[in-house]
Amino acid sequence: MKSLPQYAYPLSIAAGALAAMSALAGLFFESTYAAEMQSFAIQGRAQDLVTLVWVVPLFGISLRYMKQDYFPARIAWMGILLYFTYTYALAAMGLAYNRLFLLYVTIFALSLALLITGLSGVRWNDIRWRFSSRFPQTPTAAFVISMGVLVALLWLADIVPSIVTGTPPPQLAETVSQSLVVQALDLGIVVPLFILGGVLLLKRMSLGYLLTGLALVKSITLGPAMLAMAVFLNSAGLPVAPPLWAFAALVTGFGGYLSYRYFRSLY
């Protein structure tokens, strides 16, 4: 594992601090989501809460241990950078323009640059041998592949019929931008990451171990965010489909357990 450039640490602290600022603005300033549809605004605030109380502290912990050249912390750091990249690309392109636009773009740019820096410093052939025999390879691969397939099926079930019939998909009713940004990011980033990571893990390829780690970190940030969204929507009197509760609980619970096993098996 190559050492990170010195600039990676202050820039990481800056990215985490800016993410916390964005989350606080979303939670406490009504103007942040004033132009959004009600359900989208509620979900945005739910994700802001998870970012503030869960993701940013995890990021800080990973930075602390990464300074000690602890490899699992490097994986966690990159996974949370992926979360920041995804979240603030969505905010910059999917939300109605607001005063935080440049903040969203800055976090997105910083996180993406740091993620590329982190990936470029990994010695690929060294990853596989860092895992002990306790690592549940097959269940972990099955989980991340299943999550990728489920997310793909969830969105394609509405998108494909809309293309065939020429009727806009129902998700557009919740967006001001009239663009399926969430679906584009999921189908373009999350689904390939999960499926490819799981398939390569089954083949015991080093890249599979790395991508699976990123996918698991995505799971333990995505799951709580989905649960928070469901709770916030339910509190506002908006219906939440039972499958959403089940999917969120599965991602959080099983994803959390496998993440624990992944990082405990890695040295």
Instruction: Give tens-digit pLDDT for 110-139.
Output: 999 999 999 998 887 778 889 998 999 999
Q: Is residue 2 part of a domain?
A: no
Into how many domains does the chain fold? 1
65, pLDDT greater than 90: yes
Confidence of residue 87 (pLDDT cuts 50, 70, 90): very high
Q: Is residue 3 part of a domain?
A: no
Q: Hey, CA dihedral for 144, 147, 151, 152, is it positive or negative?
A: positive
Contact 110, 11 (CB under 8 A): yes
pLDDT at 121: 87
Distances (CA, A) of 217 to 78, 83, 211: 9, 8, 10
CA separation for the pair 58, 76 (Å, rounded): 8
CA separation for the pair 234, 230 (Å, rounded): 6
Average pLDDT over residues 19-47: 95
Query: Which domain range does residue 231 map to?
Result: 8-265
Average pLDDT over residues 255-262: 96
Average pLDDT over residues 26-43: 93
Please identify which residue in the block is written with the tokens 């397939």. 149
Q: Is residue 140 part of a domain?
A: yes
Q: Is residue 204 part of a domain?
A: yes
Q: Is residue 78 part of a domain?
A: yes
67, pLDDT greater than 90: no
Share above pLDDT 70 across residues of the chain, in percent, rounded to a whole number: 99
Confidence of residue 172 (pLDDT cuts 50, 70, 90): confident
Q: Is residue 1 part of a domain?
A: no
- Residue 204 gets the label, from left (phi > 0), alpha (psi -120 to 50) or beta, of left
Q: Is residue 13 part of a domain?
A: yes
pLDDT at 254: 94
pLDDT at 1: 65
Amino acid identity at 184: A
Q: Is residue 199 part of a domain?
A: yes
Weakest mean pLDDT among 3-12, 72-81, 210-219:
3-12
